[in-house]
Structure 1
Amino acid sequence: MSKNRIIFCDFDGTITVNDNIVAIMKHFQPPGWDALVDQVIHKKISIREGVGRMFALLPTSMHQEVVDYAIGNVTIRAGFRELLEYCSREDVHFLVTSGGIDFFVYPVLSQFPIPQENIYCNGSDFSGSHIRIEWPHACDEHCANDCGMCKTTIIRQYPAESYERILIGDSVTDFEGAKLADIVFARAHLVQLCKELNLNYYPFENFFDVIKQLEEMRTR
């Protein structure tokens, strides 16, 4: 019996052209943000710790300014709507698995036909003096990486014996998930990891590349 195909798709730097968290930090320039980004990239601190500490640098008095910039700064990667249409047509289950934050992920994706329950991301709390990030999708007992939004925990909910698991991503937040996937579509930092670990991957620049490869695999 053939397996069900499922896609786990990153948001920042994948669905969007730019990394929105880094873009927010670069724009507002809270003191110390760049050192935190560097520590996350080089795995000196966890993603959860790094992202939490970055947003804690921003006062909630800037709430609307931060939200408006985050949403207004987004460019969607070419072919995304067509990929969703392909998945609908070919019965491929599509999940967004994002290390991004709800206040920009949900509004940006609201223009696309993705049920909110298929979007996994981090939460936010603007009730205190500084922005606090919440982590509704933390690591399970199989992951000790303190991911914040744990992609491997979500992937494990779809067992390999029943699903052909396809990951689309670009960065450090996708590293662990890529190791569990049957097929990886990679760009940027993720390409190097896939090479080093000899994973089954295809490089891509836009979602038309992904559709073409999925179609080729389906017709083999």
Structure 2
Amino acid sequence: MNSRKQPVIFCDFDGTITLSDNIVAIMKHFRPEGYEPIMERILSHDLSIREGVGRMFALLPSSMKQEITDFVLGQAGIRAGFGDFLSELRGRGIPFYVTSGGIDFFVLPLLAPFDIPKEHIYCNGADFSGDKIKITWPYPCDVHCQTDCGMCKTTVMRRFPASRYERILIGDSLTDFEGAKLADHVYSRARLTEKCLELGVKYTPFETFHDIQEDLIQAGRR
């Protein structure tokens, strides 16, 4: 690590902290009528993430909030080593931020056991006051991003100037790739690794948070 700069970590949630993508799991389990063509359009980049996710959740009644929450809490496993990794970061004084395209009503309960400050968790919101679930977008793209992310990870990262911070990204999917291009170091798995390889972005592969913890310890000794 660069001793002249303050390390700061930005970590994806779905498929990174958790073992699978919870939005995909919700849609495949509850199967609201009309979700499949919307999901296909998101994957083919015909729809932005913000627009597509908003449309899919609008197919679900607000009355299902507890049922959906219980389903996610019951099936979303936490990746091995996450708690130990957070303890290591706290011991070293390294700030940790969750940058998630997930929704607060399942992200916050899943993270509750880990005592991460709420102001360090960036994710989308949900409004259950109407008949259908309405997704809210408190962290939109800034002027430097035109991809209509919903929760814009690069906008969050730009709040920490490269001149002062060593920006470390942890992720697994294409939604993390723009952030990977801004980061000083990338820990990747799955689709993010494929994209980094394809476009020549340096990365360190991981499967568990113990892998990342060990690499950070080794980097600190060098």
TM-score by length of 1: 0.97
1:95 aligns with 2:67: no
Which of 43, 46, 49 lines up with 1:47 in the alignment? 49
AA at the equivalent of 1:71: L
Equivalents in 1 of 2:52, 2:85: separation in Å? 31
Which of 15, 18, 25 lines up with 2:17 in the alignment? 15
Tell me the equivalent position of 2:112. Answer: 110
Tell me the equivalent position of 1:60. Answer: 62
Larger mean CA deviation between 184-193 and 67-76 belongs to: 67-76
Contact persistence 1:41–1:172 (CA under 8 A): no
AA at the equivalent of 2:182: L
TM-score by length of 2: 0.96
For the residue of structure 1 that corresponds to 2:157, the secondary structure is helix
| Equivalent residues in 2 for 1:62-77, closer than 5 Å | 62-77=64-79
| Equivalent residues in 2 for 1:1-220, closer than 5 Å | 2-220=4-222
State the 4+ residue runs in structure 1 displaced beyond 3 angstroms: none
Contact persistence 2:141–2:152 (CA under 8 A): yes
AA at the equivalent of 2:179: G
Contact persistence 1:182–1:200 (CA under 8 A): no
Render the CA deviation track for 1:141-186: whole Å, top value 9, x for unaligned: 1110000000000000001111110000111221211110111111
Q: Identity, % of aligned pairs?
A: 58
For the residue of structure 2 that corresponds to 1:92, the secondary structure is coil
Q: Give the paired residue count.
A: 220
Contact persistence 2:19–2:79 (CA under 8 A): yes
Contact persistence 1:5–1:164 (CA under 8 A): yes
Equivalents in 1 of 2:33, 2:129: separation in Å? 22
For the residue of structure 2 that corresponds to 1:168, the secondary structure is strand
Contact persistence 2:174–2:195 (CA under 8 A): no
Deviation at 1:61, TM superposition (A): 2.2
Deviation at 1:38, TM superposition (A): 2.5
